[in-house]
Structure 1
Amino acid sequence: MEIQISRAAQGEAREARGAAAWAWYGLGVLLMTTLFAFVVRQMLSLIAPALQTSLGFTDLQLGMLQGLGMAVFASVASYPMGWLADRFGRRLLLALGVACWSLATALFAFQDSFGGLFAATIGIAIGEAGLAPIVFALIPDLFPERQRNTANFIFYGGSLLGAGLGMALGGAMLQWLAGAHDMFPGWLAGIDSWRLAMMLIALPGPIFFLLVLTMPLGHHGGGAGSPTAADDAAPRDFIPYATAHWRTLACIFGSIFAMAVAMTSGLMWFPLALPRAFGIDPATVGVGLGTAIVIATVAGVLLAPLMLRLRRRDADLDPVRAAAIFVALTPLPAALLPFAASAFQVYAIAAVQGALGIAASSLMPGVLQNLAPPHLRSRVLALLGIVNALALAVSPLAIGWISGLIAGPRGMLYAITIVSLPALVASAILMAFAPGPYASTLRAIRPALLEDSL
């Protein structure tokens, strides 16, 4: 009998190790797929000067292309993608999204008009709309609760690190393409570098499509990852849930929106603002800004768990309170931007501000996974995609309009500050008010989470 029990235990241990290995494989696929999406998104910013040169676009048109094209349609598509993912499978929807944005990226390279580029950008936006809600909804399916925060930090930090690397590699790619036309066949030699870059980054699309389809479909129980008695008592539809907990959603998602407006303003416009202000090459900005993002990502992702270790007062509320501290500090470096005397100083400001913002943002996936009932998880997390998409719409348009009103080579730097500084202040205020409503939501939908603090 003891031998049978021992064998059964060994079999369960092997099964658990196999499930863990598949879970980490799934996280790797999610991370690589997100990196691919970030490279596409960053390239749209890096080629902005080339679009102005070759097609004669105005700042406002670039703002519409990067803002409205990406943001409005991503926002419109985000909730339906979350709804479909909750019902028909998150893995399938993610694979279809990869196929959509890869095809749209390839088509972008062959457009000659604003309308054609705008339509291709819409395709990229729709494909990427389900990325955030599906990925963050999949992580609790793959990992048990004890490993979830670790998986969240790895994914969030890795994806942002990829955003910085993507910008740096994108800048290096544009530099290489600008001087390598003689290496290409005759039919490619006369094609603009920005078109070649979009073609190249579309090529891995089928590989990522297949990788997503090979992901495991984990189903871990407990905590925020599976239904409980409290979940069964929770509203089954999204609207009653949102109505009951609107204060929590308003504080957290309002803060995320304001932070995204500030962060987007720099990422989108520095490739155009720094060449104007300091006379440097746009591709050089990609390398410098990408390096700053990498440094900010590493620092931010390390700061978040360090703050949680230092606090250790309330495991469920500490992430929200720690995020409030980080967000409250972000306006300080942002206020220094108008006084920057060199591109290096701008990179330093971006690195410090980015590290604080990333530290706060890296805590949000766990916060959102906790406040979302499992049967509504993709739809609640779809709000993350919606607010980020709206920020992507507001920021480029506002800065493009304001920069047109300010004369001089530093006008766009001033415009970035005018938009980002009030947004950061608003984000800090909203996050400071978030812990109270957030605790009430946790008590309502999962009372067991706060038993120890009552």
Structure 2
Amino acid sequence: MVSGANRAGTVGEAVAVESDIPSGGLRWAWYGLGVLLMTTLFAFVVRQMLSLIAPSLQTSLGFTDLQLGMLQGLGMAVFASVASYPMGWLADRFGRRLILALGVACWSLATALFALQSGFWGLFAATIGIAVGEAGLAPIVFALIPDLFPERQRNTANFIFYGGSLLGAGLGMALGGAMLQWIGGAQAGFPDGLAGIDAWRLAMLAIAIPGPVFFLLVLTMPLGKRVGAAAVPAVGEEAGGHDFMPYARTHWRTLTCIFGSIFAMAVAMQSGVMWFPLALPRAFGIDPTTVGVGLGTAITVATLAGVFLAPLMLRLRRANCDVDPVRVAAIFVALTPLPAAFLPFTSSPFQAYCIAGVQGALGIAASSLMPGVLQNLTPPHLRSRVLALLGVVNALALAASPLAIGAISGLIEGPRGMLQAITIVSLPSLIASAILMAFAPGPYAATLRAIRPQLTKELL
């Protein structure tokens, strides 16, 4: 057991490392952040392609809406949720770079195997492989950022990574749609061995090819001397503070409000991203591959708007309070149900893209504040476990949304039934998210006072 004097010395050394960072080390930190952003973009391309090829799976393999919901919900989300915490646990003990690199290898191999399957259960198994490989992405990345950056620059790195990763999601959707369009148009000129292969299979094989490159980039990514410093408990913490459950029982109101709001928002956001490629062709008779370009563009614009809205609102408040990010997030979340209510009344794909863009910008503005909020409300030695919960919550939302919409859309007749199903699921979810976030500032302030007593005067 570490004595109080030794622990104080260790913490002092960790603080000294963070407060005196050579410029060369900081350059390597920004390089590491770039590697993490590119790896996350790669993961998003794989994930978005699973949505874009949904119409092709129905055409070539005769899948029902419920089966597609199982692939995107149960296959991706449930198993990602189950694997998220163990991946975080492994990363803390055997090296975050190593586990993240193995995750890249896992989802790349599973993506290639997905293209070779012809039955539902083979595709389901390959989807599980993709989900398990990507399960540790969010908790490991947000655990690596404190390893790379000193505290004074950590929020900037969090914000850049979050905005960049979401921008990559939109770009991945657009690039995926463009790839499917190109393969579909150029397939007649391919060699005989490729000309007869379904376009969706060729697309999945193509996006698996960069896997080894990202595996090596992550595995060789340099880290600063702060690795493991965050795991050292602060001076004066009792032994029980090492356990997650005592912390969760003490601050359950804060965790319920924050994670509950994140879950409800994720359900609504996933409903549009996953089902628009199928809902818009049914409602408006357009080519499914064009939805990737249109929706990807809308997501890209929404991301750019959202990542600027959050700091702008914080600046307009002109307050220096650690609770402000939660209060600002509550404002954005409260506005998200408004555009969602108009979705069933759209008369063109452009109107649907506009609704997705406005709703997405508000949701992204709120969500971009959450990484810093979660890091602030958690003691350093518990941070990886709480960040793993973020992956679990998002994965559960990914499971709930496709299954709910797939089941509801089967009960509604007509070409606009799926648009109505998206609204039936997303609108109550957004309202619930707004209510939970509205109640969050009080419990959140109490948690900050307990963890960081020096903030007491600022929070009163």
Which one of 63, 69, 90 corresponds to residue 69 of structure 2?
63
Which residue of the partner structure matches residue 250 of structure 2?
Answer: 244
TM-score, structure 2 normalization = 0.93
Note the C-alpha offset of 1:153: 1.3
Which one of 60, 72, 93 corresponds to residue 54 of structure 1?
60
Which residue of the partner structure matches residue 273 of structure 2?
Answer: 267
Whether the aligned pair in 1 keeps the contact of 2:323 and 2:459 (CA below 8 Å) is no
Deviations 1:337-367 (A, max 9, x none): 1111100000000000000000000000000
Note the C-alpha offset of 1:17: 0.7
Taking the aligned partners of 1:343 and 1:231, their CA distance within structure 2 comes to: 56
Which residue of the partner structure matches residue 8 of structure 1?
Answer: none
Taking the aligned partners of 1:20 and 1:321, their CA distance within structure 2 comes to: 32
Which residue of the partner structure matches residue 113 of structure 1?
Answer: 119
Greater mean deviation of Cα atoms: 280-289 or 182-191: 182-191
Taking the aligned partners of 1:222 and 1:95, their CA distance within structure 2 comes to: 18
From the superposition, tell whether residues 45 and 301 of structure 1 become closer, same or farther in structure 2 (CA, over 3 Å). Answer: same
Note the C-alpha offset of 1:311: 1.6
Whether the aligned pair in 2 keeps the contact of 1:234 and 1:445 (CA below 8 Å) is no
Which one of 242, 254, 257 corresponds to residue 260 of structure 2?
254
Paired residue total? 443
Q: Are 2:371 and 1:341 equivalent residues in the alignment? A: no
- Which AA in structure 1 matches 2:71? L
Greater mean deviation of Cα atoms: 216-225 or 296-305: 216-225
- Alignment of structure 1 residues 91-170 onto 2, 5 Å: 91-170=97-176
Q: Are 2:422 and 1:416 equivalent residues in the alignment? A: yes
Which residue of the partner structure matches residue 325 of structure 1?
Answer: 331
Whether the aligned pair in 2 keeps the contact of 1:312 and 1:318 (CA below 8 Å) is no
Q: Are 2:203 and 1:182 equivalent residues in the alignment? A: no
Which residue of the partner structure matches residue 88 of structure 2?
Answer: 82
Note the C-alpha offset of 1:378: 1.4
Which residue of the partner structure matches residue 289 of structure 1?
Answer: 295
Which residue of the partner structure matches residue 396 of structure 1?
Answer: 402
Taking the aligned partners of 1:89 and 1:230, their CA distance within structure 2 comes to: 28
SS of equivalent residue, structure 1 residue 158: helix
- Which AA in structure 2 matches 1:423? S
Which one of 193, 216, 230 corresponds to residue 199 of structure 2?
193
Note the C-alpha offset of 1:315: 3.0
Taking the aligned partners of 2:262 and 2:19, their CA distance within structure 1 comes to: 41
Whether the aligned pair in 1 keeps the contact of 2:240 and 2:246 (CA below 8 Å) is no
Greater mean deviation of Cα atoms: 247-256 or 306-315: 306-315
Taking the aligned partners of 1:128 and 1:371, their CA distance within structure 2 comes to: 25
Whether the aligned pair in 2 keeps the contact of 1:371 and 1:441 (CA below 8 Å) is yes
Q: Are 2:388 and 1:382 equivalent residues in the alignment? A: yes
Which residue of the partner structure matches residue 210 of structure 2?
Answer: 204
Which residue of the partner structure matches residue 372 of structure 1?
Answer: 378
From the superposition, tell whether residues 316 and 224 of structure 1 become closer, same or farther in structure 2 (CA, over 3 Å). Answer: farther
- Which AA in structure 1 matches 2:76? M
Q: Are 2:32 and 1:26 equivalent residues in the alignment? A: yes
Deviations 1:101-148 (A, max 9, x none): 011001000000000000000000000000011111111221112211
Taking the aligned partners of 1:160 and 1:31, their CA distance within structure 2 comes to: 10
SS of equivalent residue, structure 1 residue 229: coil
Taking the aligned partners of 2:207 and 2:378, their CA distance within structure 1 comes to: 35
Note the C-alpha offset of 1:14: 11
Deviations 1:29-63 (A, max 9, x none): 00000000000000000000000000000000000
Note the C-alpha offset of 1:319: 0.6
Which residue of the partner structure matches residue 6 of structure 2?
Answer: none
From the superposition, tell whether residues 98 and 222 of structure 1 become closer, same or farther in structure 2 (CA, over 3 Å). Answer: closer
Taking the aligned partners of 1:441 and 1:14, their CA distance within structure 2 comes to: 29
Note the C-alpha offset of 1:219: 4.2
Which one of 280, 288, 302 corresponds to residue 286 of structure 2?
280
- Which AA in structure 2 matches 1:208? F
From the superposition, tell whether residues 135 and 207 of structure 1 become closer, same or farther in structure 2 (CA, over 3 Å). Answer: same
Taking the aligned partners of 1:78 and 1:267, their CA distance within structure 2 comes to: 22
Which residue of the partner structure matches residue 39 of structure 1?
Answer: 45
Taking the aligned partners of 2:52 and 2:252, their CA distance within structure 1 comes to: 38
Taking the aligned partners of 1:374 and 1:123, their CA distance within structure 2 comes to: 31
Which residue of the partner structure matches residue 444 of structure 2?
Answer: 438
SS of equivalent residue, structure 1 residue 180: helix
Whether the aligned pair in 2 keeps the contact of 1:230 and 1:447 (CA below 8 Å) is no
Q: Which runs of 5+ in 1 are unaligned?
A: 1-11
Note the C-alpha offset of 1:224: 7.5
Whether the aligned pair in 2 keeps the contact of 1:105 and 1:120 (CA below 8 Å) is yes
Note the C-alpha offset of 1:276: 0.3
TM-score, structure 1 normalization = 0.94
Identical aligned pairs, as a percentage?
A: 82
Q: Are 2:325 and 1:303 equivalent residues in the alignment? A: no
| Superposition CA RMSD, Å | 1.9
- Which AA in structure 1 matches 2:171? L
From the superposition, tell whether residues 225 and 24 of structure 1 become closer, same or farther in structure 2 (CA, over 3 Å). Answer: farther
Q: Are 2:234 and 1:213 equivalent residues in the alignment? A: no
Whether the aligned pair in 1 keeps the contact of 2:28 and 2:223 (CA below 8 Å) is no
Whether the aligned pair in 1 keeps the contact of 2:147 and 2:228 (CA below 8 Å) is no
SS of equivalent residue, structure 1 residue 316: coil
SS of equivalent residue, structure 1 residue 110: coil
Whether the aligned pair in 2 keeps the contact of 1:144 and 1:222 (CA below 8 Å) is no
From the superposition, tell whether residues 222 and 69 of structure 1 become closer, same or farther in structure 2 (CA, over 3 Å). Answer: closer
Greater mean deviation of Cα atoms: 230-239 or 70-79: 230-239
Note the C-alpha offset of 1:91: 1.4
Q: Which runs of 5+ in 2 are unaligned?
A: 1-17
Deviations 1:236-262 (A, max 9, x none): 011222122111111000000000000
Which residue of the partner structure matches residue 350 of structure 1?
Answer: 356
Taking the aligned partners of 1:223 and 1:453, their CA distance within structure 2 comes to: 27
Whether the aligned pair in 1 keeps the contact of 2:69 and 2:402 (CA below 8 Å) is yes
From the superposition, tell whether residues 64 and 134 of structure 1 become closer, same or farther in structure 2 (CA, over 3 Å). Answer: same
Taking the aligned partners of 1:321 and 1:315, their CA distance within structure 2 comes to: 10
